[in-house]
Structure 1
Amino acid sequence: MSNDDRQIAVTFDLFGTLVSTTRPEDPAGAVAEELRAREVSVPDNWCELYATPHVEIEPGMELPLPDHVRAALEEVGAEYGGEDVVTAAVRAAFDRRAELRDGATEAIDAANEYGRVGVLSNCSVPGLVERTLERVELGDRFDAVLASVDVGYRKPDPRAFEAAADRLGVDPTALVHVGDDPETDGGIEEIGGTPILLGDVPLSAVPTRLSEVQSR
């Protein structure tokens, strides 16, 4: 097989890479507001509870934010009306307006020329990655969409990238990951994959960079 025929797959980080979005200035307060809207009695010391770990997990694993919120409420015996209530409140607290970044569509189109394409995003809110993709009309553009809350591991943990490579049907060394965070997105190098970091090249230059990677 020549270099030009080498099969690669490409994953994109979502937040800060393909889309720009705003996070709540006060996440604990935003979650509390949505809980109250669903008739959950939020404890007076909620900010302290929200900032305190309540569930033990191993390094690199992702804890779904609703699990953390439920554990915080249970710590003080607060009733919350069921798991779905908390999940809906958490999702509503973080579901914000998103805008497609300049060059994103062109970068995705270029990636599709070389093989399968996916999203690999750190996100502890169930359904938020999919909801954001729908907002910017990218919901049907990918062969796989992986959020850390579903995979169970956060970048830069190698298991997150390995899960993406598996879903896209390539060896981890053939995975190219495009992202904006050197610490998390750059972690793909640990499994022998290739990072394209937006601190090094702009999103508009990703098509050219992919061509260079493919021709190695």
Structure 2
Amino acid sequence: MAVSFDLFGTLVRVTNPTDPPRAIATELEARGVAVPEDWDDAYRTPHIDAPEGAEVPLPAHVARALSSCGVAVPENAARRAVIAAFDPDVERREGAGEAIAAARESGPVGLLSNCSVPELVSRTLIRADLRGEFDAVVTSVGCGWRKPHPKAFEAIAADLGVPVGELTHVGDSPEDGGIDTCGGRALVLDGITLDEVPELLGRR
């Protein structure tokens, strides 16, 4: 059996911007980009026609939103601004290390995270002292699909070398429960705590 974990809200707590469009605007302006007056509306409007369940990288969305307002964006400016705006304080949740260690007793262990911001997952793992704890790390911005889409779970299962039906996924949201539709097993932290996960992983 393989086990995958969600990251944000499951293994770590992070502080994200309370006003993402304004935080991104500040970073754009710091890089010489003229942010339009109607930026908030442009940011909240979809600009990329993606299939249902597909991930739209936030820098791509930001670049399209600026373009819709007639603002030319220098190469990589949108990406750098987004990465800087989402630079969180990170706290590893109590019981995270124990849960990962218990999962490793059953087989390979992976991380599957919905995240549209490049580099955010890797930086979070470093700050939570979790880098190197996983046999595979899959992000939605990397594989192109967000949980609960089956392709997200299939991606982490493939990287762990198991059929998706042999994967147990631990998370804190209904999206994490989507593994059920793939024939795998979900452990959703709704009414249970992370401290209980080692015991629950031992039950088949």
Question: Which residue in the other structure is 2:115 paired with?
Answer: 123
Paired with 2:84 and 2:3, the residues of 1 have a C-alpha distance of 30
Identify the match of residue 153 of structure 2 among 149, 157, 161.
161
Aligned residues with identical type, % of pairs? 52
In structure 1, stretches of 5+ residues that fail to align are: 1-7
C-alpha displacement of 1:79 = 2.0
Please give the alpha-carbon distance, in whole angstroms, between the structure 2 residues aligned to 1:70 and 1:188. Answer: 33
Following the alignment from structure 2 to structure 1, what is the Cα–Cα distance between the partners of residues 186 and 43? 34
Give the deviation of 1:200 after TM superposition: 3.2
| Amino acid in structure 2 at the alignment position of 1:196 | L
2:42–2:69 Cα contact (<8 Å) kept: no
Separation in structure 2 between the aligned mates of residue 89 and residue 76 of structure 1, nearest angstrom: 17
Letter in 1 for 2:109: V
* Superimposed CA distance per residue, residues 50-79 of structure 1 (whole angstroms, 9 cap, x where no aligned partner): 000111001010000000000011112212
Map residues 106-121 of structure 1 onto 2, 5 A cutoff. 106-121=98-113
Which residue identity does 1:132 align to in structure 2? T
Question: Which secondary structure state, in structure 1, belongs to the residue aligned with residue 178 of structure 2?
Answer: helix
1:195 lines up with 2:186 in the alignment: yes
The whole-number CA distance in structure 1 between the counterparts of 2:188 and 2:66 is: 39
Q: Which residue is equivalent to 2:12?
A: 19
Q: Match of 1:45?
A: 38
Structure 1 distance, partners of 2:146, 2:57, is 11
Structure 2: which 5+ runs fail to align?
A: none
> Which whole-Å CA distance do the structure 1 matches of 2:77 and 2:103 have between them?
39
Residue equivalent to 2:81:
89
Aligned structure 1 segments of 4 or more residues deviating by more than 6 angstroms: none
The number of equivalent residue pairs is 204
Q: Structure 1 length as normaliser, TM-score? A: 0.93
- Within 1, Cα distance between the matches of 2:136 and 2:85? 25
> In the alignment, what sits opposite 2:199?
208
1:94 partner amino acid = F
The separation in 1 between residues aligned to 2:137 and 2:119, in whole angstroms, is 11
Q: Which amino acid aligns with 1:70?
A: A
Q: Which amino acid is the alignment partner of residue 61 of structure 1?
A: A
Aligned-partner residue type, residue 163 of structure 1: A
CA distance in 2, matches of 1:85, 1:132: 22
Matched, 1:178 2:142: no
Tell me, in whole angstroms, the C-alpha distance in 2 between the residues paired with 1:155 and 1:200. 21
2:58 paired residue among 50, 65, 68: 65
Q: Please give the alpha-carbon distance, in whole angstroms, between the structure 1 residues aligned to 2:104 and 2:80.
A: 34
Amino acid at match of 1:38: R
The CA RMSD over aligned residues, in Å, is 0.7
Distance (Å, rounded) in 2 between the aligned partners of 1:85 and 1:131: 19
Distance across 1 between alignment mates of 2:87 and 2:181: 32
